[in-house]
Amino acid sequence: MKKYLIFTLASLLLMSSCFTKKAESDVFTGTPGEVKLITLDPGHFHAALVQKDSYDQVSDKIYVYAPDGDDVKEHLKKIEGYNTRTDSPTKWQEVVYKGPDFLERMLVEKKGNVMVTAGNNRKKTEYIKQTLMAGIHVLADKPMAINSENFSLLKECFDIAGQKGVLLYDIMTERNEITTMLQRELSLIPAVYGEQLKGSLADPAIVKESVHHFFKVVSGNPLKRPAWFFDVTQQGEGIVDVTTHLVDLVQWEAFPEQVIDYKNDIELLDANRWTTSISPEEFKQVTGTEAYPDFLKKDVENDTLKVYCNGDILYKIKGVTAKVSVIWNYTFPKGGGDTHFSVMKGSKSDLVIRQGKEQNYQPELFVEAVKGVDLAAYEKDLTASMEKVSAKYPGVALNKISDSVWQIEIPAKYRVGHEAHFGQVTEHFLQYLKDGKLPEWEVPNMLAKYYTTTSALDMAKAKTK
């Protein structure tokens, strides 16, 4: 009996030691190379942009699992471009597995501890679920859900992440755009913004509009898009794709670090969807494909492809009426690119981001005092407040345009561009890995965001039947 007890105690100590080692191996400390990335089925160029820069915490060896085809070839071509560029080249070593069983192979081999996914959105939520169940952290491009069925699965994914002790996070690049950051900063200063207006159906208190283009330039080269990108059953409609960023910014700016409960804090008011027409010549130019594949023929009318990539959502969030909308054109005007418009309406001022021809297609932030404000007193308060903002963002200054309008002057060093934002988001995620958790408000707010977009799609589709 004594020998049995000694054996049992020794066994328990050994098991305890094994569990301790496993727990220690799951802890991130910031050690160089401790994060080992897996790139799964990279069908969107955002997967490559995560690797446009290097990170001390991330190993140079990246494990890629994908079906063979143009998607993975285009991804690897972009990575090779980063490795061979003259200015600050990266040193990524892509270890690639190509085959129809790429997902199963990745889950069995578990070569990495963080999976990056950006590609076919119809498959993405299931990819996320399977990866989390394997105990692997996930950094996902938006959107993580493109319909109500996906949203239900996404809720399950967050439960799994909590049970497994791993993180699930989506890439919200626009939080790092300087005009948005300053818009948020100024909205938190009562002397500048006053109180957040509630708005109405006819006059929303927060408006965000994004204009995008199918044919564009990325990392200095014309972007080649996969044919499936134009199939809304695979990519998702515009109302659940780009609007993810806009809904996120409404939450992040108007209710910073506050938990949004989608069951109680979100009220949908209206939602709409409409198409953009793509000619056979345009389709060939942007995809390199001679003819529409069979899966797109359902969307072709008189040889013209009709893509439901446009949409708007009108809703209330914690009692504040907001409107977000996305528009897709085929290509951009000369000298232009994707654009963003945003206005936040306070009792003392409107904070407006414009990015049109007048701004040389560069986002600019304006402070516009509302009618009835004592302009002399307001300008004094605004100037004093800007000194505090400038202390946080050195070089940012105030430029008076008229008696009631001021432009925020932003030094070039803050205008790093959309592609650089992917690196900034990744840096935040690496810090969350070290912390062992996301901020408490992030998970409920991700759920609120995807509830808003997917429910709006249901509403918009019901109106167009």
| pLDDT value at residue 460 | 98
Q: Which of 267, 300, 326 is nearest to 459 (CA)?
A: 267
Q: pLDDT grade, residue 102 (50/70/90)? A: very high
Domains and CATH numbers, the chain: 27-170 (3.40.50.720), 174-416+438-464 (3.30.360.10)
Cβ–Cβ under 8 Å, residues 90 and 51: yes
Cβ–Cβ under 8 Å, residues 276 and 329: yes
- Kindly state the percentage of the chain with pLDDT values over 90: 88
Chain segment 153-177, per-residue pLDDT in tens: 999 999 999 999 999 999 999 999 9
Cα–Cα distance measured from residue 122 to residue 128, given in angstroms and rounded to the nearest whole number: 11
Q: Give the number of other Cβ atoms within 10 Å of residue 255's Cβ.
A: 18
Q: Which of 33, 32, 445, 9 is nearest to 248 (CA)?
A: 445
Residues 6+ away with beta carbon under 8 Å from 245 = 142, 172, 173, 174, 210
Q: What is the mean pLDDT of residues 259-288?
A: 97
- Helix axes 375-392 and 178-187, enclosed angle (nearest 10): 130
Is 50 exceeded by the pLDDT of residue 144? Answer: yes
| Residue 27, token pair as written in the block | 């802890």
| Residue 55, token pair as written in the block | 């990170």
| pLDDT value at residue 237 | 97
Q: pLDDT grade, residue 6 (50/70/90)? A: very low
Is 60 exceeded by the pLDDT of residue 4? Answer: no
| pLDDT value at residue 135 | 97
Q: Give the number of other Cβ atoms within 10 Å of residue 343's Cβ.
A: 19
Residues 6+ away with beta carbon under 8 Å from 255 = 317, 318
Is 50 exceeded by the pLDDT of residue 207? Answer: yes
Q: pLDDT grade, residue 271 (50/70/90)? A: very high
Cα–Cα distance measured from residue 342 to residue 332, given in angstroms and rounded to the nearest whole number: 19
Q: What is the mean pLDDT of residues 388-413?
A: 97
Cβ–Cβ under 8 Å, residues 422 and 171: yes
| Residue 314, token pair as written in the block | 């009108």
The CA angle 220-223-228, to the nearest 5 degrees, is 160
| pLDDT value at residue 22 | 37
Q: pLDDT grade, residue 3 (50/70/90)? A: very low
Q: What is the mean pLDDT of residues 367-381?
A: 97
Is 60 exceeded by the pLDDT of residue 262? Answer: yes
Chain segment 15-52, per-residue pLDDT in tens: 333 433 333 346 899 999 999 999 999 999 999 999 99
Q: What is the mean pLDDT of residues 391-410?
A: 97
| pLDDT value at residue 333 | 79
Q: Is the peptide bond before 293 cis (omega within 30 degrees of 0)?
A: no
| pLDDT value at residue 162 | 97
Cα–Cα distance measured from residue 285 to residue 43, given in angstroms and rounded to the nearest whole number: 18
* Helix, strand, coil abundance in the chain, percent, nearest 5: 45, 25, 30
Summary count for the chain: helices (H), strands (E): 14, 18
Chain segment 429-441, per-residue pLDDT in tens: 999 999 999 999 9
Paired residues of 328 in beta bridges? 212
Tell me the one-letter amino acid at 72.
V
Q: How far does CA 153 lie from the centroid of its chain? A: 19
Is 50 exceeded by the pLDDT of residue 336? Answer: yes
| Residue 150, token pair as written in the block | 């996906």
- Sheet containing 61-66: give its strands across: 93-98, 61-66, 37-40, 114-117, 137-140, 168-170
Chain segment 219-245, per-residue pLDDT in tens: 777 788 999 999 999 999 999 999 999
Is 50 exceeded by the pLDDT of residue 8? Answer: no
CA atoms within 13 A on the CB side of 33: 5
| Residue 100, token pair as written in the block | 């129809």
Cβ–Cβ under 8 Å, residues 278 and 272: no
Q: What is the mean pLDDT of residues 130-152?
A: 98
